[in-house]
Structure 1
Amino acid sequence: MPSGTEHFMDTVLRSLDLYATRPLIKEVVGPVEARTCNIITYQAYAHDLSKAALFWWQTLSKLGVAVGDVVGLWITGSQYPDLVHLYAISRAGFVPQVFSQKYTEQGLAVVRDLLTACEAKVLLYDPVFEGIVQSPSLTLACQRIPPLVSLTYVDAALPSLPDVKPTDTAMIFHTSGTTSGKPKPVPESHRWFRFQAIQWKGICQAAPFDGQDVYNNIGSYGHVGSATMISHLGASGQCMVRLASNTLDREQILELTRLAGLNNLFIYAPWLSKLVNLAKTDPEILTVLRSMRQISYTGASLNPEDEQWIIESAIPATCVYATTEIALCLVSDLDRVKMIPAMRLVPGVQCQFIPTNSLTHELATNAHGQLTGNQLYDFFIPESAPNCPHPSIRNRPDGHISGDLFEEVSPGYYVFRGRNDDWIRTGPTCAFCDTKSIEDNCMLTCADLVKNCTVVGHYKPALVLFIEPALALSSESDLATFKMEILKQTAAFNARLFSHERITDARRIVVVPPGSLPRTTEKGNVRRKAVEEDYASLLQDIYTSKA
């Protein structure tokens, strides 16, 4: 096969054979009083993969699905068979388009639209979605996913993996936020998959040892972070232990450490913040954090107090910058923890920092940056980079700008300084949210009520909508009625959003006098960051009330 045309599954299959006897996946199972660890070896996973791949190749071929076609896969994202079926579809020569349990929040119409956008030929679905999928509005062929244990291993040869180009699509995931009520498909190419394993090795900095590195999954198997762990952990013979839920609390981390040998954490910053708060008063949790070979956190920044406590407590932490489109790109140094949150490029990553023309005073997230107006940089991924996004989603003809801004704080070391557009991160896992689409919908559907509005909540627990009303509100009763009418008129749009993007509580609507929101001098646009600063105390009260 010519160089550069290898299917990403060839690498996966070689790893499954090379590390056959090692644990690949661990699961803590059983009743609370008698918990045990179930181990799935590389060899056992390969066996399940083969029989599932053969089943799907035979089944989908009969339905007229051709090699290279897109196949929708709606999974719970919380169980071992999900990972088997996901990679089995790839092994059978098809391109999976992955949906998770999260899409029940949006409903069938959004899933249908995304399948249509990617020209999927069929939708495979977990039985839990039976009631949703059986709808006349879904004209696509549907196939229920059978239990893995019901598939019989047949000693029949699967066809060879198809030849592919480096930029051909291997899998399709979706953005964690929505634009105009829909997530955007994110195709991941074969070269992206192959390079991700190299990127992962650059992230891992713990000293070599005789044992096996055991990592937790980071959220749902239906999302890119956990779904691709088979590919990049398997490349170096490591192991993943499944979380019982998409979070990491005291009981679970102690259990996974004791029963499954968890010795590396790869988690979202809000999860780590919760563990840090526990460890400050819980010696057992502190011991666990200190015993980890490496703790890598991503998705957001920790607050400075947590960062300082980590440094003073000798916890082996590194911060990581990654996105669904470009994967792992930046990491801090494990042997220089005092530099957190400053990060450097992962070895082999060809990304570039380009001086931005954005307003540094408005976008810098720390007081020092706002006062000094330090140079900020756009993060650019050239077309030639192995992790450059699929051509269909690039935002420049010669590559891709991530939309995140950085400041160089030491030669070659950069700190994240926010977004350069209308996307922010919000909610429990700091997922992306397109504030502009929410604001535009509010202005459109509530034109009789709203003169101007803005949505805030960057790296906060939830969104808050600020409104300058188009009519006089003379009493508390008028204000309450006004807010309920806003919720009523935006309800249909909210229903299409993910839960972290929805504004469905009147306590998260703040009404201010017309013209009072801070604006830019030149264009008169509302300054989102300035609103957060001016109303910081009020916002803290709202978040504390768990609105």
Structure 2
Amino acid sequence: MRPALYSSAPSQGNGREKLRKKMVACVPVGLALGLNKFLQHDSVGGLVLPYLLVLHIEISTFILYRSVYFNPISAHRTLIFKQDHLYTGTKTLGSPSALSILLPMSLRNHFTNVEEAASRHPSRVAFKIPEFNTKTNGIQVDDITYSQYLLDIERFAAYWYHVLNDVAGIPQRSVIALCSQGYKYVDILHVYGIFRAGYITQVITLFPDAPYDLIRGAFESAKPRAFIFESLYKDSGAVRNAPMPSYEALPSVDVVYSDIEHPLPQFPTVEAEDIAIIAQTSGTSSGVSKVIPGSYRWLDAKCRKASMRTAPSSQDKQDIYTRRGSIAFAGQFMFLAAAASHGACAVLLTNGQPTTSELVALIKKFNITKVHQFPQVIETHFQVARADPDVLSTFAGLDVLSYGGAGLRASEEEWAAQNGINLVGTRKDPRNLLRVHPGAIVKFVPFASRDLDGDSGLLELVIPPEAPECPDKSRRAEDGSFHTDDLFREVEPGAYIHCGRTGDWINMKSAWLCDTKGIENNARELCSDIITGCVVVGEGRPSPVLIVESHSENLEVLPAEIYGRIAPFHAGRHHFERIASEKMVIAVPPGTLPRTATKGTVQRRTAEVLFEKNLDGLFGL
């Protein structure tokens, strides 16, 4: 096992920088003999074989794949684990714990991935953090190695264990709510550090002026014993009215190195079904963010499958990513866990989504190999790429440009394939057919609806309770399974296409189903120069209604122009799923449609309520 990276407490003030210099002289030692034997036996070596890249959509399980060439490192054990208990021991800062020894049947989690990466690749850069220097007008980059990353996590763990347990008397395995924007390195350290301290981290993200009612449900559901919040939230009603002890989060990493060094606690003994973390959704479908308790069994399955998805193209290559989003959401949380499993590097951006020109500059400056974006952002990038050869060649040079959280128009996927952009797996299968990964435990069940023909041909992906990645019982249906709300059609035996989510199909007054995504995609494709967003509503109405956002100064005449463009498409649709006239098009200014804060996805159900009076007027109610 590798030795402790240092044995004495860092000095006051700039102790962290002094510690960095000490670490340069450290010579890493390999993994324990047993672990070495396991890895040698379990790996595939340097062979590059046809492998599987799972679909980047939020379906809670990563079991559908598209063909792409990857190195299948330890692939055959990604779906296997049988250990019911995870035992850990005490250790000093920087030394290995039982959490770090990955035996064939152990349970993985986000922290064990960092431990393994720090042991195998101590000098590899885990994070690149660009910072703008106002004095030089240049960009300074702070590199965080995996060994430093692990040390920082452990210092945060020791600090917060002292505050929560030693001072406040809050025992391990209690829920600790953590509220931050989730974009900064210090935010990541809080999430990982509180977990390593032996607590269940409930991650929440809010707006700075959030009222307490916004998180009342999350608190009542998880029952946290303490609330740690980022400084910009300190004046919010959520913090002022929180019914538990509240603590301001540490503003920087250096704080824990200038404080008295506290001992790292023993990690508590846990069961596979014990809750490990509590995450939240972005609220894309329902408009309400949902609490997601995750057990150690569930977290292990997610980490293993996320690791499969992010396997590098060769064993010796370090992938460099851009940050996906806030660690408060499950997608980014799992991305960081998977990145550590391969010793990858993430470029942390703290100023939101970069523009196309900024992203291209970042790709070139940091040699970024993989980019993940939300579909709406990718469509914006592709508009620029169509007119700028440099942007196009930059995207085509990426190993992977992936998307998730929502669907991307088929025309955009086809254009990417035609222009050499490896968008998810389109280079290998332009049709983007999806197949169930061997060994995955899933079901496809007919989508239950009120359509009169009794057979829409739609299948919902369902995760049965015996599947390792089936989420907490609170997220399951009465039948004990988790219904993902993702819909598919089987176009050939064992091959599927994604057909949106259940919320993308609305029941009309006639009881027939209407595919809203088809209407929206057509409008965006034909009217991208005059609209900035759109949504189709009309649940229980005679026909659907298209609501569009536009910068146009003549919103009154815009519906006629839009209808003129989309009319040929609707002429071939059934009457109950057709935009029949310009009266069924409503134009509104930008920012009117309700959207999720993270993805920017329009919330259909919320829009239905917001425009209820408009719809009543259209249909004479």
Shift in Å, 1:245: 3.6
| % identical aligned pairs | 22
C-alpha displacement of 1:232:
1.5
378-387 vs 395-404, which deviates more?
A: 395-404
Among 243, 255, 261, the alignment partner of 2:361 is 255
Q: 1:115 aligns with which of 201, 219, 222?
A: 219
Query: What displacement does 1:196 show?
Result: 2.2
Number of the residue aligned with 1:146 = 250
**Does residue 305 of the first structure (1) align with residue 397 of the second (2)?**
no
Tell whether the 8 Å contact from 2:489 to 2:497 is kept in structure 1 after alignment: yes
The 2-side partners of 1:82 and 1:126 are apart by 9
Spell out, residue by residue over 1:418-458, the C-alpha distance to the aligned partner (whole angstroms, 9 max, x if none): 333xx359xxxxxxxxx99xxxxxxxxxxxxxxxxx9x887
- Quote the residue 2:161 is aligned against: 57
Aligned equivalents of 1:31, 1:161: Cα separation in 2: 40
- Aligned: 1:23 with 2:23: no
How far apart, CA to CA, are the structure 2 residues paired with 1:269 and 1:536?
Answer: 29
1:339 alignment partner in structure 2: 431
Change (3 A) 1:269 1:136: closer
Normalising to structure 1: TM-score of the pair? 0.71
Residue in structure 2 matched with residue 409 of structure 1 by the alignment: 491
Change in CA separation of 1:335 and 1:361 when aligned onto 2, cut-off 3 Å:
farther
Q: Is contact 1:409–1:415 with CA below 8 Å preserved after alignment?
A: yes
Does residue 237 of structure 1 match 2:343? yes
Partner of 1:352: 443
- Contact 2:312-2:318 within 8 A present in 1 as well: no
CA separation of 1:539/1:60 partners in 2, compared to 1, >3 Å: closer, same or farther?
farther
2:290 to 159, 184, 190: 184
1:171 counterpart (262, 270, 277): 277
Distance in 1 separating the partners of 2:323 and 2:185 = 12
SS in 2 for 1:228: helix
**Shift, 1:249, TM fit:** 2.0
Deviations 1:466-518 (A, max 9, x none): 6999xxxxxxxxxxxxxxxxxxxxxxxxxxxxxxxxxxxxx99xxxxxxxxxx
Q: Distance in 2 between matches of 1:411 and 1:467?
A: 33
Letter in 2 for 1:338: P
The structure-2 alpha-carbon separation of the partners of 1:135 and 1:246, relative to structure 1 and needing over 3 Å to count, comes to: closer
Aligned to 2:183: 78
| Structure 1 CA distance for aligned equivalents of residues 281 and 289 of structure 2 | 5
When the two structures are aligned, how many residues end up with a matched partner? 439
Question: Following superposition of structure 1 onto structure 2, how do residues 378-417 of structure 1 map, counting pairs within 5 Å?
Answer: 378-417=460-499
Alpha-carbon distance change, 3 to 134 in structure 1, aligned in 2, over 3 angstroms: closer
For 2:323 and 2:451, locate their aligned partners in 1 and report how far apart those are by CA, in whole Å: 36
Per-residue deviation at 1:219?
A: 1.5
13, 25, 28: which one aligns with 2:115: 13
What runs of 5+ residues in structure 1 fail to find an aligned partner?
319-332, 364-372, 426-434, 437-453, 470-506, 509-528
Asked whether the 8 Å contact 1:404–1:417 carries over to 2, the reply is: yes
Work out which of the residue numbers 506, 531, 534 in structure 1 matches 2:579.
Answer: 534
Amino acid at match of 2:466: S
Aligned-partner residue type, residue 24 of structure 1: A
Q: CA-to-partner distance for each residue in 1:209-266, whole Å, 9 max, x for gaps?
A: 6431011221212212223333221111111112344324222212221222211012
- 8 Å CA contact 2:386–2:392 kept in 1: the answer is yes
SS of alignment partner, residue 387 of structure 1: coil
Once the two structures are TM-superposed, the CA of residue 543 in structure 1 deviates from its matched residue by 6.5
- The TM-score with structure 2 as length reference comes to 0.63
Structure 1 residues 261 and 412, CA gap change in structure 2 (3 angstroms): same
Local SS of the residue matching 1:194: helix
Q: Is the contact between residue 220 and residue 246 of structure 1 (CA under 8 Å) also seen in structure 2?
A: no
The 8 Å contact of residues 283 and 289 in structure 2, kept in 1 or not, is answered as: yes
CA distance in 2, matches of 1:108, 1:266: 33
Contact 1:360–1:375 at 8 Å: present in 2 too?
A: no
Counterpart residue number, 2:83: 3
- What is the RMSD of the two structures over their aligned residues, measured on CA atoms? 3.7
Query: Does the aligned pair in 2 maintain the 1:218–1:267 contact within 8 Å?
Result: yes
Mapping for residues 483-498 of structure 1, pairs under 5 Å? none
Point out the structure with max Rg over C-alpha. Answer: 2
One-letter amino acid of the counterpart of residue 446, structure 2: P
| 2:131/2:140 contact within 8 Å kept | yes
The DSSP-based 3-state class of the residue aligned with 1:416 is strand
